Amino acid sequence: MRRIFTLTAFLTLLSANAQFTSGNVNLGSTGMVVKLETTATTATLTLTGNSNSYLGIGFGSAGMGNGSDGFIYNSQSSVDYTFTGVGSNPMADTAQHWTVVTNTVASGIRTLVATRTLAGGSEDYTIANAAANIPISYARGTGLSLQNHGTSRGYSTLVMTAALSTEDFDQQKIKVYPNPVTDMLHFGDNGTIKKVSFYDITGRMVKTTLTEGKNSIDVSTLEKGTYVVEYELTDGSTSYDKIIKN
């Protein structure tokens, strides 16, 4: 049986079950890729890179400045670090709050998956389970032992957006693709769709358009994030779906 949600129900579902993800973020010429995911209690970091190099991520706008928090896979057993300033090796935290749960190597690429609580310890960067921009620094060494990274470093931002279970959304008749979307959003039989509106997770309408027989909509001007899509149908009913805008 087809299930039709109200906008209020969709937004409630978004709020109650919110989990957030940065998606895969390529880290410049280092060849590293990072992804951060959160739930109400846990942060999960997935990091890939050259298996013969140390792989490091620093959290916060201070980069690798003195006192900044970092995750560094290297030749030591520690991965939870505090930076001590430019030119000095970071120091392993006394309490290791990151736990590496997966460490695999295939074709010279290491894949690490590590978890910790959102708060970590007193010396750690607090990660929120919320939509946010998290500034990071990153570095890859020429070997596994901690040493100067040379030019293999840089800065980026993890854009955390809602990443929710689509179990309930899958019951909607009208589907859009691709999802996540970057520019053109395509949808089903436009013979039944009269108008399409987009709402952010606060319930604010940010875009609305008459379909006028079109099977796609340009969403390139929408900011990155999660949106509820509202379809007004020709039979007078309304249906909803969820999209993620990259």
Positive or negative: CA dihedral 235, 238, 240, 246 = positive
pLDDT in tens, 81-132: 999 887 788 999 999 999 999 999 999 999 999 999 999 999 999 999 988 9
233, 111: one domain: no
179, 201: one domain: yes
31, 144: one domain: yes
184, 64: one domain: no
Question: Is residue 81, in this structure, part of any structural domain at all?
Answer: yes
127, 63: one domain: yes
The pLDDT value given to residue 75? 96
Question: Is residue 1, in this structure, part of any structural domain at all?
Answer: no
The pLDDT value given to residue 1? 31
Note down the domain range covering 177: 7-16+165-245
Is the pLDDT score of 12 beyond 80? Answer: no
Residue among 116, 106, 108 nearest 81 (CA)? 116
The pLDDT value given to residue 169? 45
137, 231: one domain: no
Question: Is residue 234, in this structure, part of any structural domain at all?
Answer: yes
Computed over every residue of the chain, the mean pLDDT equals 84
- Which pair of structure tokens corresponds to residue 117? 């609580």
Banded model confidence at residue 226, pLDDT cuts 50, 70, 90: confident
215, 185: one domain: yes
Mean pLDDT, range 221-227, rounded to an integer = 86
182, 154: one domain: no
Is the pLDDT score of 156 beyond 50? Answer: yes
101, 171: one domain: no
pTM score of the predicted model: 0.65
CATH code of the domain covering residue 25: 2.60.40.1190
The pLDDT value given to residue 146? 92
Higher-scoring residue by pLDDT: 231, 91: 91
Is the pLDDT score of 47 beyond 80? Answer: yes
Q: Is 223 exposed, middle or buried (0-12, 13-18, 19+ CB in 10 A)?
A: exposed
For the chain, percent of residues with pLDDT exceeding 70: 85
User: Strand 216-218 vs strand 184-187: parallel, antiparallel, or unpaired?
Assistant: antiparallel
Question: Is residue 66, in this structure, part of any structural domain at all?
Answer: yes
Please spell the DSSP secondary structure of the chain, one letter per residue: ------HHHHHHHHHHT--EE---EEEGGGTEEEEEEE-SSEEEEEEEEETTS-EEEEESTTTT-TT-EEEEESSSS--EEE---TTS--EE-SS---EEEEEEEETTEEEEEEEEESS--TTSPPPPSSSEEEEEEEEE-SSSS----TT-EEEEEEEEEE----TTGGG-S--EESSSBSSEEEES-TTSEEEEEEEETTS-EEEEEE-TT-SEEE-TTSPSEEEEEEEEETTS-EEEEEEEE-
84, 115: one domain: yes
pLDDT in tens, 162-200: 764 444 444 455 667 888 888 998 876 656 788 888 887
Number of separate domains in the chain: 2
110, 145: one domain: yes
Question: Is residue 2, in this structure, part of any structural domain at all?
Answer: no
Q: Which of 120, 140, 162 is the last residue of a domain?
A: 162
86, 131: one domain: yes
The pLDDT value given to residue 214? 79
